[in-house]
Each structure stands twice: as C-alpha cells, then as structure tokens.
Structure 1
Amino acid sequence: MNKQSEHSILPKANHDELARQNFVGSLKVYLARNITPGNQIVYEKLAKPKFEQEYQRAPQNRHEIRRLMENESYYRWWSALRRTTQEMLWDSVNSSIERQLPELVECTRRQGNKLGSLTLNPDLKIPAYQTAVDIHCMPGGYQGEFTEDDVAAGALYDRGVYLYALGQLGPLNDDMGQSVVQNYLKKQYPDFQPARILDLGCTVGHSTLPYVDAYPDAEVYAIDTGAALLRYAHARAEAMGKRVHFSQQNAERTNFADGSFDLIVSHILLHEMPVSAIRNVLQECYRLLAPGGMMVHAEAPLYGHMEAFNAFMFDWETKNNNEPFWSAMRDLDWMEVAVGAGFESEKVIQTFAANGVWKEKFAGGKSQNDGFGRRGTWLILAASK
C-alpha cells in the first residue's frame, strides 16, 4: 500500500497508532486474498448443490444465494471477521485523532479564507437518513460533532477511507474525481470548459480538487450536510492551495439559482440516500444546470451488471456495514430516474470510466468484492440539459 500524501490537516499517527493501522490493513488484505475467495468455493461445492437438489434449479438471484450462504459457517466466520476489521479500522484512526484534536481544530482555524470560502448553516435540517445510523460504521457518521469547530469527522474520513480502500483511491483519495475528469470528461468532451462546477456530497473534498486542477478558470463549489466534514474540507483545500467554495447544504434542495452551473458532479453519493432522495437530487441537478450543462455521477456498478453471486457479495455492505440504501440504489433503472427528473432520454448516458489513479492490482483472482467498485472502473451516469 502506497503512503497517503500528507498535508497540514491530516492527523499524524505515532508509532503505536501506525502499527495498529498497518495491522488492520494487513488483515484486510489477508481476508481479501485468502479468505474471501473461499466463499465462492463453499457456494459452488456445498450451498448451490443443496439448493439444486431441493428445487431442481439453480439459485436465481442474490436473495436466494444469501439465504443459502447464511447457513454456511465459513461465510458467517468471514462476515464476522470483515465486520470486526471495519470496526478496528475506525478505532485505529480515532485514537490518533482524539490525541491531537485540539491541534487539528486550531490548525483548521489558522487556514482562514486565503483562496476559497466556507459557509455553514447551523439551522440546516439534516435528513434523517443521514443520522439514523453511523454510515459504514464510521463512529458518529458524517454528522458527528463533539466540540466547538469540530473537524474530527473530516479527519476520520480522510485517513479512514485511505485505510479502508487500501490506498486504491490514490495517495490523495481522489481516484473518483480523477477518473471522471481524465477518463471520461477529458476524453469524451475535450473542448468542454465549464465556468462553474458543483460537487454534491463532497465530504472532505477528495474528489472535488481534481476539478480545480482540470478546469483552472472555473469557479468550483462543493456542498455537504456535515459541518465538521466541511471545516476539514475547506482547511485541507486551503492547505493544498486549491480554491473551492464550500457550503453546508442538502443536495436535494440547494440555495443556488436556476441554471447556476455548467457541470454538476457527485462521487459515491447516491448510494448513501433512499430512492426518493435520489430522485430529488437529480431533479435539483436539472434545475441547477445551465442550458448545455452536464451532470456526471460516479458510482459502483449496479447489480444488473453483475452475476448473481457477485451481487450477493456486494450486498454484504447493506446487511452488515450500515449501508441501508446501497442495494436499492443498485437495483434502480437509472434511465427512468433521469428522465423522470426532466432529462431527455437521448441525452442520458450510462457508461464506465477507467480507474484514474490506481496503477497496481490489489489482489489476484476474479473478484475480491472488497473495495468500492468493480476493479479498475467506475459506473458513470451522465446527462446533459
């Protein structure tokens, strides 16, 4: 695993904290390489034959496969290990953040507004789907705030995502933004020069900053509902010399005027919300886009793009990792949702973008089902107005 790029806001791990983090990373690799593939062997040699003998047919979908595999001790053992590893990951980072949180808060305050801006809204009503559970078991979720000018959620996400993805998102965790920019927009629309860009659900700005570099003359805006995330995102961008205007808003309904943007993007945002909210977000994209403008949403592949067993393995996130909307989003008819939001069907595109940063293969085998997306690609939903 390559080393994460450091910046002045990133929490610094001491010897023991780094050792714990490295252990968790090594355990994740071991599970993915040595334990995860055994699930398919158990399915093919034990669970599937039992089903075929009883019903005289093969399992037809991930739901039937889950009911089989949940009775297999190997799968239950693997699932418990993976959930435990996820919790260990966050704990290993949290101990580092708790030790230096006052310094991190002070560091973010010192960054100021030399380049971009930060606008928070303490009266913003946070959607219940963002507070009901700690998304992907991250303590406090995206909305956790425990002290004045808190940035703990941002620091936890920045370091935690790097460990969770085992560096696959690149030293700056910016693979999704880079993939959309370099391997979709620049290739498919080389003459496209948006003047105003909006990143929805930016968290700490990992995928926002590639747009600053790709379109240096553009005004770049980014929104999220988490105040602690945005404080961290703003300070991180300032520390890295990137001009972004961050504001605390709900992507379902923003305060920007109609036709404000030429490009609206999101990166693994849609699977964090119910279908009703996804429909609202796409309607808001349509409202905010100027004529000729484009929206581009990057996600992991839909279940329709997978074999039933791989869909079952991906579905582990919904059942065991506090991702309650993961599966519903991956069952969506994206064309229907985009057209329902106002886009013309001939202007809606579903495609894949090659990985923009990750250069090394994580592990051998057909599919490890242990990362954000199908290995080496992101699913793209794009539409122009």
Structure 2
Amino acid sequence: MTTPFQDPKLRQRGRASVDFLAGMAAASGPVRARVDAAIAEKVASPDALPEDLDERLAHMDALLADSPAYPVQQLLGDWHGRMHGRISAEAFEEVEGDLAPLFEAAEQGPATLRLDPDLKAPDYWDGVHFHRTTGGWEGHTHMGYIHGEIIHKKLVGRFFPGGIFQQRRDVAAMAPRESYRRILDMGCSSGHFTTALAETYPNAQIVGVDLSARMLEHAWRTANANGWNWQLSQQAAEATDFENESFDLVASYIILHEMPAHAICAVFAEAFRLLEPGGDMIMSDVTRYADMDRLAVWKADRGAMFGGEPHWRESASLDLEQVAREAGFVDVTTKGPYPYVIQGRKPEA
C-alpha cells in the first residue's frame, strides 16, 4: 500500500537530478564491462589472488593500473557515493512545502513513537555517515523521508530485478508460521521491512527499534498513514528495554552489515532473550564472504569501501550460523546468496 505522502511528486529540477543519478549508474555499464574484460584477461583464476584481502586490494589496483576504464569506474563510484544523498535532499527540499500538511496529518493515528533524547549511541554508529549520506542518518530533519521515499524508491529500487520491496516481502514470508502475535523488527530504519511484516502478518502487533530518530519518525508517519498501530522506540537492537520473552518472532532485514562483529553477536543474544520459548528468529543480510570466490569478495569489499560501509567486511566475514547457535538457537538454517537469510528457534522451556 502506498499513501499520498509516500509518493512525492518531485519538481522538474529535482526529478531531473535524480533521474540523472539513476541514468549515470545505468550508463556506466560499458565502463564496468571494460573493467571486467581487463580482469578476465589478467586474472587466470580467483584462487590465484592473494589470500589476505588487503593484499588482494593492492594487487588488483596494481594489476589494473594500465586499464583506462578502471579509474573512470572508481571516479563514477566515488561521485555517486558522495552526491546521491545531497541531490536527493535538494529534490526533497523543493517539495517540502507541499508535503508539510501530509506530514502533519500522518502524525495522527494509532502508532506510537518513543524517542530517547539522552540516548548514548554506540561507537560503531555515532558520527558514522553510513552509505556516505551527508551528515549521517541525522543529517537532515527529514532524512527518514529522503532515505525511504526518494533514495530507496526513486534510485536504489531501479537497480534490483524483481524489486527491493518484493525481497523484503519474500523474507518476511519465510518465517515458519502463518501468523504471529507480537513481532519485533530490529533496526527498522524508515520502515520498509516493518511494512512487509505488517502486510504479511496483519494480526500481529508490530514493534520496531532503531538508533536513528529521523528514520523512526518516518516509520511512525508511515504506520499512521496506513492505520497500523506500530510501537516504535529509539533503542539499540542489541540492548533493548523489553522484558524477557516478549515476542514470538524477532526479525531484521539487511541491517547486520551496519554493525561490527561484537554488536552482531549481541543482537542474536538479545533476540534469544526476547523470544518466548518456541519463538522464531529470522535475520537477513548481505552475502557471506565464505560463499564467494576471492575475486567476488574483492568486488564486494571494494564496493563497500566506495559505498560508505565501514563494518561490511567484518560483518560479511562472520559465520552467522555459528553466532546463532552460540546464542542458543536450534533448528538453524540458512539460505542465500542474497539476501542471506538465517532462521532459528528458541527451544521450548
């Protein structure tokens, strides 16, 4: 379901700028093809690349030093990483006045929002500009809207065959039961996966936590606009204030790569604490490095560096199946490659 305030009608300048961003990414295909051709010529086998990833990055830079397309690809990636947030924010600001009454209306409804002005954000998050978003997730008064409705729907969504939102619905539907009573979305951000959970399990009470106040505000308005009684609060997913055994499903979607390994382990432990006996856990994230060859890992790691993902390597190198079992989960299963989905169950008491 899409409400009017979730479908911004951008002005000509903003729409043209956003379309230019998307078009530039699409038009860079020939550059990528030339780089791939150079790699195919110079790399006989992925297994021949250095085992150490930092050495591999340096080795590939040296190997492709005489490829004219390689620095162009790097320049395009760097420019897109630096500018996508700024351009999207400028496009929003052109229509902010049009959206103001819709925002005000969406602040009335059944959803609740609990912000913590005294929140001490964890070091891995505080001050980090994820995705190279200017100012980070709190860098604009309406960053949740910019991120959720412009960057994701008008940019990122163009490059995912089948749709990034269908992927979220598919993951939500992978939970083993047909219905749940109370669901927690860990790291709910602007509410895209939360929406998939609400649509998949319409009789469940949906609860979401995130560190970003701006993201939570947009999720809150989204819930109100749709008549959903979500309960949203500003908390770290690994250290919530909910009571033991408060949920029968704990879930997350592509949020773990925004955390270092110790925080991810704490998230799984917290999920286990919060689940009632017999409750289900379903988490998803990016493809594991262990499931990729050395060349594919190099591409992913290099892309993460340009994309503003400081914890990607540490996260993608983690064996989430082992983490889940160490947290206490049983019947642990995984499915991949992307999104990589891990499921488990808290044993009956």
> After superposition, where does 1:25-36 map in structure 2 within 5 Å?
25-31=22-28, 33-36=29-32
For structure 1, the residue ranges without an aligned partner over 5 or more in a row are 353-373
Q: Give, in whole Å, the separation in 2 of the partners of 1:106 and 1:281.
A: 38
Partner of 1:365: none
Match of 2:183, SS?
A: strand
> After superposition, where does 1:316-355 map in structure 2 within 5 Å?
316-344=302-330, 347-352=331-336
Amino acid at match of 1:285: A
Match of 1:221, SS?
A: strand
Match of 1:8, SS?
A: helix
- Which digits, 9 at most, give the CA deviation of each residue in 1:343-381, with x for residues without a partner? 24xx211113xxxxxxxxxxxxxxxxxxxxx5xx42101
Name which of 103, 106, 120 aligns with 1:125. 120
Q: Give, in whole Å, the separation in 2 of the partners of 1:75 and 1:6.
A: 43
Q: Give, in whole Å, the separation in 2 of the partners of 1:210 and 1:164.
A: 18
Q: CA deviation at 1:241?
A: 3.3
Q: CA deviation at 1:226?
A: 0.8
Partner of 2:342: 381
Partner of 1:15: 12
Q: Give, in whole Å, the separation in 2 of the partners of 1:118 and 1:303.
A: 37
> After superposition, where does 1:283-298 map in structure 2 within 5 Å?
283-298=269-284
Partner of 1:58: 48
Partner of 2:291: 305
Amino acid at match of 2:208: A
Q: Name the % identity.
A: 27
> After superposition, where does 1:128-277 map in structure 2 within 5 Å?
128-145=123-140, 150-162=141-153, 163-166=155-158, 168=160, 174-182=165-173, 184-185=174-175, 189=176, 191-277=177-263
- 1:315 counterpart = 2:287: no
Q: Give, in whole Å, the separation in 2 of the partners of 1:321 and 1:24.
A: 15
Answer yes or no: is the 8 Å Cα contact 1:194–1:262 preserved in 2: yes
- Could you tell me the TM-score, scaled by structure 1's length? 0.81
Match of 1:349, SS?
A: strand
- Which digits, 9 at most, give the CA deviation of each residue in 1:324-354, with x for residues without a partner? 110111111212211222224xx211113xx
Ranked by relative contact order (alpha carbons within 8 Å, sequence separation 6 or more), the top structure is 1
From the superposition, tell whether residues 169 and 20 of structure 1 become closer, same or farther in structure 2 (CA, over 3 Å).
same
Match of 2:136, SS?
A: coil
From the superposition, tell whether residues 134 and 66 of structure 1 become closer, same or farther in structure 2 (CA, over 3 Å).
same
Q: CA deviation at 1:167?
A: 5.4
Q: CA deviation at 1:225?
A: 0.9
Match of 1:242, SS?
A: coil
Answer yes or no: is the 8 Å Cα contact 2:148–2:192 preserved in 1: no
From the superposition, tell whether residues 35 and 6 of structure 1 become closer, same or farther in structure 2 (CA, over 3 Å).
farther
From the superposition, tell whether residues 165 and 327 of structure 1 become closer, same or farther in structure 2 (CA, over 3 Å).
farther
- Which digits, 9 at most, give the CA deviation of each residue in 1:199-246, with x for residues without a partner? 011111011112212212110111111111111111122223333221
Q: CA deviation at 1:106?
A: 5.0
Partner of 1:355: none
Q: Give, in whole Å, the separation in 2 of the partners of 1:105 and 1:275.
A: 40
Indicate the larger mover: 193-202 or 57-66. 57-66
Amino acid at match of 2:332: V
Amino acid at match of 1:161: H
- Corresponding residue pairs, total: 340
Q: Give, in whole Å, the separation in 2 of the partners of 1:299 and 1:174.
A: 15
From the superposition, tell whether residues 11 and 128 of structure 1 become closer, same or farther in structure 2 (CA, over 3 Å).
farther
Amino acid at match of 2:118: D
Answer yes or no: is the 8 Å Cα contact 1:130–1:143 preserved in 2: no
Q: CA deviation at 1:301?
A: 1.0
- Which digits, 9 at most, give the CA deviation of each residue in 1:126-148, with x for residues without a partner? 12221332101111222335xxx
Answer yes or no: is the 8 Å Cα contact 1:263–1:295 preserved in 2: yes
Partner of 1:368: none
Answer yes or no: is the 8 Å Cα contact 1:262–1:292 preserved in 2: yes
Match of 2:339, SS?
A: strand
Partner of 2:92: 97
RMSD over aligned Cα, in angstroms?
2.5
Considering fraction of residues, name the structure with more helix. 2
